[in-house]
A and B are shown apart, each in its own frame.
Chain A
Amino acid sequence: MMYIKKRLARIFVYSVLTITLFTSLFPIFWTISTSFKKRVDTFALPPKFFNFSPTMDNYKKLFSDPTFVKVYLNTILFTLGAAFLSICIGSLAAYALARNPRFRGKATFEILLILLRAMPGVVLIVPLYDLCSKLHLLGELPVLITIITVFNLPFTIWMLTPFFAAIPIELEEAGMVDGLSTWQIFRQIVMPLALPGISAAAIFLSLLTWNEFLVPVILGDQSTQTLPVLISGFISARTLDWGPMAAASSLAIIPIAVLTVFVQRKLVVGLSLGALKE
């Protein structure tokens, strides 16, 4: 009796998991397979799951357009630039927060970070658009990178602070005895020890920036188009050409799907407002 019950429970568990797995992966499979289909196969009924002859036409079409190559490079530049700037600004601030639990500006800083995380992006984008158009700063990649760095700052700081807090203060004191300046201690002792945390945060920030839509679509222009902006442009086109669309989407999601597998354990800290630790 006990044995049958256990078996039934196992069957239940694994069927729930299989259904979940199918639901979460099918849309991705469908997009990628559509990206390799000829136009006639795209909307074939009954749908062609595997029985089609794959073609690279959609990808060729994308890459033959110089704009697309530029867009892909823009996205990489935007992502790396924002991750780098976030880590520079964020690790300095996170170190200050970790080492000064009661400093004066801390309460204000904390309020600002929470509000920044909680507020819809449009609230800031409307005035930022006004400001940037007055100052002729629209369509400048460095401006986009700086703005997205601030938008991502709550994630950066909440992810990094626990790593800095975990570094034993004795090591810093030893550095001080050796006559190192505060900056040297930070560069030579603290940063190398925080490296695992910093690399996890860098990957997470890259994912966030790669996916960002609102900032580049409003504050950017043709020259700073990123992949999400390009993809959103497809739907306003007169004819919906699903093949190249699926190919562009695949090129947006495949790098992330690969990275996810590597960073999943570290994500808990970043995603939970820093309120939960691994």
Chain B
Amino acid sequence: MASVGKSSRAPLAFSLPAWILIIPIFIVPLCLGLYLSVFDKSLGFPQPINFVGLANFQSDVKNSNFYSAVKVTAQFMAIAVFIQIPIGIFLAMVLHSASKFASMFRSSLLIPMLLTPVAVALMWRFMFSSELGIINWVLDKLTLAQPDWLGNVNAAFFAVAIVDSWQSIPFVVLITLAGLAAMPVAPQEAAMIDGASTIQRIRYVTLPLLKPVLLVILLIRIIDSFKLFDIIFILTRGGPGTATQTLSMLDYNTAFTFLATSRAAAIGVVLALMSLPLYFLWKKVISVSS
């Protein structure tokens, strides 16, 4: 038994290198962010730095840009949850039922998910060009309205949502497919023998059995839509006005466009606090999934 004790004690030291990196790159910046948030440091005005208490947080609360960013972030989350997930589940089910070419369809569907978001956003920007872009050319041929995709407040939001969906729906499809592949066949067969229709089978057999997988998808889509940044940066930088400025984008612009380090740190603290509930959601999902 002594040898088993040895084998399970020694590897603890193996997590040491990870700790050595996590402390300066994760824990120290979090503390530094908290520290900066109560001062008035600004790269634009290198005056002596003063302690200002909670003033940065107070001005956030008074700032209409902040509320607009909360709203935009919530809207992108809503698109993820109520549009991308249902479409992804639908496509996964269709793909699951196709026997021929299934793996070919699967690989080509997955490519968008892994492509460099910056490059993806750039190619869509090209296609969204209002005068000479291919999307408006198609809309013109179909005699539909041709919005100024990235210049119009409403259209810009949808442009970002479309590009995000193009990259994210494949993720929903991939994970759902994995869940469908792992699903036992017996309940499906029993339902078929009982004369259940396809819709009934999906509603009463497939979806309940998929619940753990769907919860994981829900969690990850919430997290990743909360973090959405690269695509917005390339397509609109949060504009026009503040139409696509999420909390991440607002934080970035505050720090690196307006150079207001302490104000940005305060927004960062708020964002860090907002990710805490995601931790509890994660724990809940894990307990259901396993």
Contact = CB atoms under 8 A, between A and B. Distances in A.
A151 B26 CA distance: 8
Contacts of A88: 17
B111 A257 contact: yes
Contacts of B127: 27, 30
B153 interface: no
A71 to B, nearest CB: 13
Interface in A53-77: none
B185 interface: no
B119 A127 contact: no
B230 interface: yes
A169 interface: yes
B238 interface: no
B105 A276 contact: no
B173 to A, nearest CB: 9
A252 B15 contact: no
A278 B178 contact: yes
A193 interface: no
B21 A89 contact: yes
Contact of B123 (A27, A105, A126): A27
A40 to B, nearest CB: 12
B227 A120 contact: yes
A96 B15 contact: yes
B233 A232 contact: yes
A165 interface: no
Contacts of A4: none
A248 to B, nearest CB: 8
Contacts of A103: 12
A142 B282 CA distance: 32
A241 to B, nearest CB: 11
A271 B220 contact: yes
B134 A227 contact: no
A231 interface: yes
Interface string A8-46: 000001101100110111011011001000000001011
Interface in A226-278: 227-228, 231-232, 234-235, 242, 245-246, 248-249, 252-253, 256-257, 259-261, 264, 267-268, 271-273, 275-276, 278
A182 B11 contact: yes
A140 interface: no
A118 interface: yes
Contacts of A227: 116, 119
Top 6 A-B residue pairs of the complex, sorted by shortest distance between their CB atoms: A182-B10, A127-B29, A228-B118, A93-B18, A127-B32, A249-B119
Interface of B: 3-4, 6-8, 10-19, 21-22, 25-30, 32-33, 36, 41, 91, 94-95, 97-98, 101, 105-112, 114-120, 122-127, 129, 132, 134, 137, 166, 170-171, 174-175, 178-179, 212-213, 216-217, 219-220, 223, 226-227, 229-230, 233-234, 247-248, 251-252, 255-256, 261, 264-265, 268, 271-272, 275-276, 278-279, 282, 285-286, 289-290
